[in-house]
Every structure is written in structure tokens, then in C-alpha cells.
Structure 1
Amino acid sequence: MQLIAYIIIYPFLWLISILPFRLLYMFSDVLYFFLYKVFGYRKSTVKSNLRLVFPEKTEKEIIDITSKFYHHLCDMMLEAIKSMTISKSQIIKRYTFSNSDLILDLEKKNKSIMLMGAHYGSWEWLFVLQNHINHKGYAVYKRLKNKYFDRLIKRIRAKHNSTLITTKETYRVLSKAKRNGELTINGFAADQSPKAKKASYWSNFMGIKVPMYTGAEIIAKRMDMAVVFFSVKRIKRGYYQATFHTITEDSKSFEDFKITDAFFKLVEEQIYKAPQYYLWTHKRWKHRDKVPEKFL
């Protein structure tokens, strides 16, 4: 069944991917109408999240952010499909970096990098960074259930010298790279919500106490990596600029969870500036009523 689904769906994805950007975004506008206006995909979750973290905003403001968010979500979904056939020159033009020299400086210092980011702006196109630096690139992801689509995503990333690894593979793969003397840059979308029962740390995110994912910090410390945050700014439709912010070059010297705290503070700053570009469909605050007493 997985192969049949792939054979049926792949041609449609490919046809979408070869559309010129003007037509791609026209298609995105149509998708927005159905996703937001007709089906209301997770609309209640989005509005609930926004009301929770922005209690000072009026209902009109919440609706405005919600609408802008769905426009961006549809654009990003189609941009991800566009990755199948977009040329290297075109994606380099559309996804730029304001200070990639920061990464190159860390290379001169012989430092591998834990690159922490959020589900904000466009994280799907970050792999274009490999065209500007020399570090071996890894990105932690959740394997797709359909193995054929999973292979497709890996092939797309491989075109830009980026390798996808699952959470279970991460420590083994990066340990081997360190033993071999390889410099690596390792992308983590570290704002996701861990299971409440397994969380070792709870703290405030957008004013709400929730469990925090600390895996990126733990690995960075164990492997003596520099920790860098990347923020993303949407310049205009289909154009983005990422900026790097050094959290620390000496992760081992940080007290436990301080790197995680610094990361979430930076995530909050970009959300407050333009909340419509955060991934509000996820139930990031679903465990807020389960805070253990020791974290209250």
C-alpha cells in the first residue's frame, strides 16, 4: 500500500513542484481558502493557542493573526514541495543568510555546532546553508511512516549535502563523526513538546509553564559543541533571511538548562515581533496543567 500511495501521489507533487512561483502562490491562495475558510484545519487549536499566549489581544487581532498564519502555512507547504525541483541558484537567491561568517569563524576554531531553531518562518529551506559552509550537515527529524516518501525527503536534502537522522540515531551518528574528527553542524527544531511524564525540565514559554525539550543541550554539552540559534525573517513572499546568534562557544561551562532557557527566550523574541510565522497548529501548551510540584 505504501508503494501504491507513493506512485499515485508523487506525480501530483512533481507537477506542483515545477510550477513557476507566481502560479505556485496562486495555488497557495486556493489552498488557503479550503484549508482555512472551508475545512478550518485545526482552526480551534490555533485560536486557542493565540488567546492563551496573547491574552491582551482583542478577538479581531487574534482573527487577523490566524488568517495571516494560514496564508503563511500554505505558502510553506508548497515551498516544501517546490524543493523537489528548485534549482540550487534559485533557492540560494531566495533563502539568504545575514551572517554566515559566524559559522565559518567557528569552523576556524575547530568547533562543531548545535544549531537550534524553532518552527518559525521557513525552517524547511534551511538546508541551503550547506552551500555556504564546510561543516557536515545533519538535521534531526521524525521518520515518515511511508518509507518511499521518507526516501524522497532524504534525497532532496542530500542534493544540498545535508543528511537527515532520527532522534534515536542522533547520538550514535554524531559520536562517530566526533571520533573521526569531522566538524558537524546539527539542526534541531528544539521548540517541540516532550511527553510530560518524561520531561526533566519545565519552564515558561510565552508566559506559560510547559515541559521543555532538552536533548539538544545535553548532546551539545557531551560533545563540547558550540550552540547557535538561527532566527528567520520573511522578507517577502518566497524570500527569507536567516540570522545566527551565538548562545555559547563553551556549552560545558553552562549550568544545566541555561542553554535551553536562552534558546526559548530568543524564540519568544521573534514570535512577539511577527506571531503569524510561528507554527500555531501544534498543541505546544497542552501539558500546562500537569506541572510537577517541584517546578511550580
Structure 2
Amino acid sequence: MGFMEIGLLGPLVVTVRGTSVVPSASKPRQLLALLATNPGRELGMVAISDELWEDCPPGGPTAVVQTYVKQLRRNIAAALDPAEGSDAKEILSRGYTGYRLNMPVAGVDAHEFEAVSRQGRQALATGDSVEASRLLSAALSGWRGPAFDDVHTGPALRAEALRLEEVRLAVLEARITADLNLGRHAALVSELTALASLLPLQENLHAQLMLALHRCGRSSHALEVFRRLRGSCVQELGIEPSRRLQELHRSVLACDPVLDSPVPSLAAF
């Protein structure tokens, strides 16, 4: 276990020597989450105030932030070993314009998630679906829930949560592609069915579900997936599914043998 570990992919986790330093109060917790999202980077008072209060800062916001920082430092100091001579003010330091949480990004689960995900996508791009599935599955296993799940979020944290969720979804799609490449379509049907229900306008997941169902000999169900997606697109967005999905639909109708090839060619549709 490292000196400090940060978990953003779910409820906020910040530990020092294995002891949690996350406060129970909402605003100090939000400040800690903001600093933990930017390890080693000084955040100015303007950025901190915008996150904590948006357009309605209190009178004397600097003094209020200083109070929150003192509380965070007390939590950090309580987790430190006095024999090591570490100082909470060195870990959560004051800079010229604001505050900085001094730790390497390697101790942040979101950084690890993205690093392993890049390796997995590279393996997928080079045709190593076994390694891609392993790496992408490992990356996704680090998620414990929605990012900042127990933190009240302002503009900066909301934007980061949305970014991380988009990355997570892309990694999930890549992992499913790797598993389809490996012929695991039968095992994927239940997962993809649930995902398509949760994300009724997400075309890539519906395309993957259509392919998995077709490969399981359930082409009629694959066509029904397209009909539901088309209904959602027309009703919610006023548009038809993309040409790619329409071409996949026609290929299922025609029982195109390319859909049964060992490596699916969804990118061609």
C-alpha cells in the first residue's frame, strides 16, 4: 500500500498510511475531491470558489476555504506516523494562489484506469483480443460506482465525472468487442441486453447486441433490437439510426455471412 491512495471511481477514497482522511462534512469533502482530482497541481482560490459555490460564494470565501483546509490537515496529521517526521502542511500545501495536494498521479485509481485502458485498446488495435479483454476487464474492475458518488459536485467535478463516464463507456465497448472477437457472443447477450435497456440511444452497444444475438441464431431478436432502437431515436431525437446501424440491420435481414466471421466487422457498417 502506498503512502497515499486516492479513489475517485465511486465513493471518494483518500487514505494516508491506510487510514481514511475523508471528512464527513459536505464542503470539505468536495474540496478534498477537487484537490485529489488534480494531484500535484496548485488550484487557485477562484477555481476552488467556483467549484464549491458556483455563482453564490459566501462573504470572505478565502477564510472559509482556510477553515476547510485546516480540517483536512487535521485528518491527515492524525493518520501520519510522528516518527517519520511527515507534516500535513507538506502534503496539503499552500501556494501562491491556492492549495495543492502533493502526491503522484500513480496513486489515483482514475489514472490507473486510463493507463491500463490505453494498453488494452492498443492490444485490441494490434489484433491481440485475448490480452485486450484481460486488460480492459482489469481496468473496468476498478470502478466501485459512479465517479464522486458520495460527493456534492460543482462545475469542475461534474465535468470530470462526465468525462470519466464517457471513457468508461468507450472502454466497456472495447472490451465487448474483444470478447466478440473471441467468440464469446453467447455469454455477452445478457450483459448487452441490460446495457441496451439502460442506454436506449447508445448505437454501438445496440450494434454489438444485434451481432451477438445473430451469432446465437436469434436473428429475429436482433431485428427487434433494431426496431426498438429506431423507435427510441425517432421518438426522442426525431432522427433515424445512423447509416452504419441501418446497414447492419440489412445484413442481419440478408443473413450476410460476414457477420459470422471470427472477427466481427462492425466498423464496416
Tell me the TM-score normalised to structure 1 length.
Answer: 0.25
| Higher-RCO chain (CA-CA 8 Å, sequence separation at least 6) | 1
Whichever structure has more strand as a proportion of its residues is: 1
Whichever structure has more helix as a proportion of its residues is: 2
